[in-house]
Structure 1
């Protein structure tokens, strides 16, 4: 079953990494820290304190490091390499859903970005300072997209729409920049 699964590049997957852990209930920040780290890696929870990632050297290194940190917190952690015998489609669906949620957040931020540019046009704010601020926002969007696409080893359905949304932002900013340069040239 697992050998039939391919990542977004079409390469066959080499199994799964499963982290099963237990953390002391107090302080709660420890649980939150582990949850954030796993989310940042792109892991999905199969149940409480059991998270899965597609196998790979980078994922294994990151999970090994996290295991050491959990143990240093006074918890327990077991990292296993495994295959899914039953319900692999459900695990893949969880990965797609997790990435699609992240892509949807980026699409929402792209709408916010375009709305901000629209406000600049309506207020006739065509300054280098406004352009620089919007360029910084676009860089943040691009960086966020890069992190999510790195985690998206299976090519989630909303990936294409998100790439298109960021491209739309890039084009809109280019048009805004042209207007800023034209306005600044007229002011000279």
Structure 2
């Protein structure tokens, strides 16, 4: 079915799963704007199909209003992404309806905004946890066993690059200015500082002694 435009009063009823949704803060939603809504159906006997579509929509940063109903802000790149997801749904033997929601009421807009903020805040928190519980501990462990080698430093640097890419992706889909961004940035910067100190020690204990 072709993409349509839905105006005020056409937003789906509030789903039960949003009534108890945790939020990071309660602030007024941004100025009015359009939203992209995808409603899809894939073969019920194919968990692979369900997961494949879910994965693609989450990569875009989509917020699930309810099962198989996903919303995104109306942006050119996201509209293109939604169209690609529709192609995926069709390839998997499913069907979809793609709508543009305009002039949605304040209650629906607040649900969308807070849903996106909660989603992004959770991702920032996961980055912070990864820094504190894995990256920092890894360097501490290598220092404990005095494993000052270039190979180990290079491996840890690859982990840092993964953290940077992860943070960039989360920031790229944080359209509603969620809490946690500054802390995540600080933690990744701290990881870089710790790695630079470790690399300096590796140099002093190897090449620096030549």
For residue 197 of structure 2, what is the aligned residue in structure 1?
A: 175
Note if 1:102 corresponds to 2:88: no
For residue 88 of structure 1, what is the aligned residue in structure 2?
A: 109
Unaligned runs of 5+ in 1: 7-11
CA distance in 2, matches of 1:145, 1:91: 22
CA distance in 1, matches of 2:209, 2:148: 11
CA distance in 2, matches of 1:118, 1:13: 49
For residue 93 of structure 2, what is the aligned residue in structure 1?
A: 74
Unaligned runs of 5+ in 2: 1-27
In structure 2, which of residues 171, 176, 179 is the aligned counterpart of residue 157 of structure 1?
179
Describe how 1:106-125 pairs up with structure 2 within 5 A: 106-111=127-132, 112-125=134-147
Q: Is the 8 A contact 1:15 1:82 kept in 2?
A: yes
SS at match of 1:87: helix
Describe how 1:1-188 pairs up with structure 2 within 5 A: 6=30, 14-83=33-102, 84-85=104-105, 86-111=107-132, 112-188=134-210
More off after superposition, 64-73 vs 30-39:
64-73
- RMSD (CA atoms): 1.5
| Count of residues paired in the alignment | 180
CA distance in 2, matches of 1:151, 1:32: 20
